Every structure is written in structure tokens, then in C-alpha cells.
Amino acid sequence: MHFIRKPLELQRQNRFTQSFFLKKDMKFVIAKGYERYSDFIHSIPSGGYVAETVFCNNRNVVELVTVEGFPMVVKRFKKPNLINQVVYAWFRKDKAWRSHDNALILLEAGIDTPHPIAYIRHVSGGVYQSGWYIYEYFAGDRLDSALKRLDQDGQDKLMTAFFKFTIGLFAKDIINKDYNPGYVLVRPASGGRYHFSLVDINRMSHRPATLADEMAAFNQLNLTAEQESRWLPLYAQLRGTELAPL
């Protein structure tokens, strides 16, 4: 007997999604509540829209668009290498699909991330070509940008709130493998608090975190030596751990 694996497009779709379309070489999945934007979403692969702001045009393209007065972000992932073209077509979810599903996991866990609107997969000739992830726009500053505008006391207060947020992630068995401060959005909340939202979430693990996982996340913050000397003891204190002497 020969076993033939179905392409990912033909496997069971995510239970949280409302609309699922296959159109030629394209797969469109639209989240519940966003079906009214279907025409716009179907126009994305052909570039049938005007971007108001381009946040990034490097490895991937990240753009702000407004549809019927509603701001959203369109992120296009670049075409991967040949190995991943095959892997993403047949064996593994691509980055757009993973971003969509990880967003739903975060939201169910009470962790904020811009709400997913849709994702698109382009598979042609049996290999993956590209993908798009569309999500709600979150008006906030990047964590690194927010820190630069604060004095030392303000920075310490912001990082205290951020470390509590981070410890909460680990407590819920969520490990974000891209914990760059540019991928953490922040805005002030009432009572002197801060509200955090995660973006660029295609690389995540869902398991109990080890101390090595926590330190890997800390290292991705790209802190200066002076900031590390201030904030590593703070992080250890908040998580109830004493630092070993050097």
C-alpha cells in the first residue's frame, strides 16, 4: 500500500475560522466576524490596495491599510528557500498560518496580540510560494522606542510592568522565540499601568518554560550592560529567584 499525504490545504481547517476558500493556487482563511472584508482580502495577492504606511520592507513587507474606515495590517512573508517551499506545502504550517493560530492561542490565554483577520497561502506546482497574515492595527509604541523617551525612573517602572507581563507568559506555558523589543507594543493604561501587545508571533512554543528559555528571552531584549545590571536583578526579584554570585 502506498501512503500519499494530503497537502496542508486539504487537511482539516482550524476550528476557530469561519470562512475557507480555495481559489486556483490560493487558500484564503478569514476569521469569524471579518467576512465583510472578504473582497479586500481576496484582492491582496494581486496588490489591489494602497498602503498608507509601510512599517517594514526588508525580509518581509508590513503595511498599514484602511478598509471601510477600519485600520488593519497586511504582512507578506517572502518566498522561502526551496526546502521550506516543499515543507510548507506538505508538512508544516507556514509563517502566516502559524501567526494566525498563535494569535488565537494568545487571545484565549488572555495575552493581548492584534486580533487575526485572515491568512492567505499561495501554493503552486506543489510548492509553497508566499503567504500573507492580516490583523487588526494596534496603536502603540515599540518597547525599545518607549524606553528611549523615558528617564531612568520611568524606564524602571515600564520594565517592571513588562517583566510581570513576561513572567505571566511563561506561567501560561507560552514561549515567544522572537522576543525582540521591536515586536512588543506598549501603550499607557489607567492608573499608571501599561498595556502590552505581541506582534511577529509566528515562532512560539507551548510548553513549560525552563530558566534557559527565560534567559534566552531576556538576551533578545538587546539591553546595554548598564541596563542588564539594573534589570536582571529586578527580573529575578519579580520571579522570586536569587541571582547566583559571579
Strand stretches in 34-153, DSSP E: 53-57, 61-67, 70-77, 116-124, 127-136, 141-142
69-96: pLDDT as tens digits? 999 999 999 999 999 999 999 999 999 9
Give strand pairing partners of 21: 28
Three cell numbers at 34? Answer: 471579518
Do 146 and 157 touch, CB atoms closer than 8 A? no
Alpha-helix residue ranges (DSSP H) falling in 52-122 = 82-90, 95-108
199-216: pLDDT as tens digits? 999 999 999 999 999 999
Residues with Cβ within 8 Å of 169's Cβ and at least 6 positions away in sequence, in order, are 111, 175, 176
Q: Is the pLDDT of residue 19 over 80?
A: no
23-61: pLDDT as tens digits? 568 899 999 899 999 999 999 999 888 899 999 888 899
Q: Please give the helix or strand (H or E) that residue 219 lies within, else none.
A: helix 211-219
| pLDDT interval class at 240 (50, 70, 90) | confident
Q: What's the whole-number average pLDDT of the chain?
A: 88
146-201: pLDDT as tens digits? 999 999 999 999 999 999 999 999 999 999 999 999 999 999 988 889 999 999 99
Q: Is the pLDDT of residue 97 over 50?
A: yes
Between residues 60 and 246, the one the model is more confident about: 60
Do 179 and 167 touch, CB atoms closer than 8 A? no
Q: Is the pLDDT of residue 106 over 90?
A: yes
| pLDDT interval class at 18 (50, 70, 90) | low
Rounded average pLDDT over 210-235: 93
